[in-house]
Amino acid sequence: MAGKCIGVILSGGGSTRFGEPKAFAEMNGKPFYQHAADALSPYTEEILIVSHPDLKDRFENETAYAVIQDQEPFIGKGPLAGIYAAMQQRDAQWYFVLACDMPFFDAEAAGKLCRHLSNGIQGVIPCSENRLQPLCALYHRDTLLHLKNQLASGNYRMMEWIERFHAKNLSEEESGMKKQAFENINDQRAFEHLKKNE
């Protein structure tokens, strides 16, 4: 991989639909955040967990990974705020972003994305079922200015941020990734289905 890469696990949401902190839900005896860390670790020099304030102490008690929070004036403004916090607090060339509720995204999937890094692009974003998956993607530090401008505008939509820079959007054929890698566990019904199939 060209340049330093930081792994960014987004765990700052309120997990309202799930009913409890998703990052600590377990699959195969391992919390979701650890599945994310295991996926990113082979390709990154450091793992950052972007935490909700209420969970910071719990993360710090359970893991040695660095734990950060959203920064003013963008606290609680969704995934963009979490990525912004990571880019502001850690200097790297690339940031491998992964949502904590995608436990099937593994190191094999991460490696397939990293193979598409190249000069002249500012993001590598996979598609699944013709939809971009911006919460398991690589972003270059050059996107930080676009990110700050997007947040300052009051528009917190990731897709509109992505339109501001040159990203390589990978089709399913190009990435070679399994559809299951992108499966989100958003609620208890999905979680119960997961546990039945462990």
Mean pLDDT of 126-155: 95
**β-bridge partners, 9:** 49, 98
**CB-based burial of residue 53 (10 Å sphere; 0-12 exposed, 13-18 middle, 19+ buried)?**
exposed
* pLDDT greater than 60 at residue 152: yes
- What is the rounded distance in angstroms from the CA atom of residue 12 to the CA atom of residue 14? 7
Q: pLDDT over 90 for what percent of the chain?
A: 71
Q: Which CATH architecture has domain 5-196?
A: Alpha-Beta Complex (3.90)
* pLDDT greater than 60 at residue 195: no
**CB-based burial of residue 163 (10 Å sphere; 0-12 exposed, 13-18 middle, 19+ buried)?**
exposed
Confidence of residue 17 (pLDDT cuts 50, 70, 90): low
Helix or strand or coil: residue 95?
strand
- What is the rounded distance in angstroms from the CA atom of residue 107 to the CA atom of residue 125? 16
pLDDT in tens, 61-99: 999 999 999 999 999 899 999 999 999 999 999 999 999
pLDDT of 136 reads: 96
pLDDT of 54 reads: 87
**In contact, 65 and 41? CB cutoff 8 Å:** no
pLDDT of 151 reads: 95
**Mean pLDDT over the full length of the chain:** 89
Helix axis angle, 32-40 relative to 107-114, nearest 10°?
A: 40
Q: Where are the domains of the chain?
A: 5-196
Tokens of 90: 């850690």
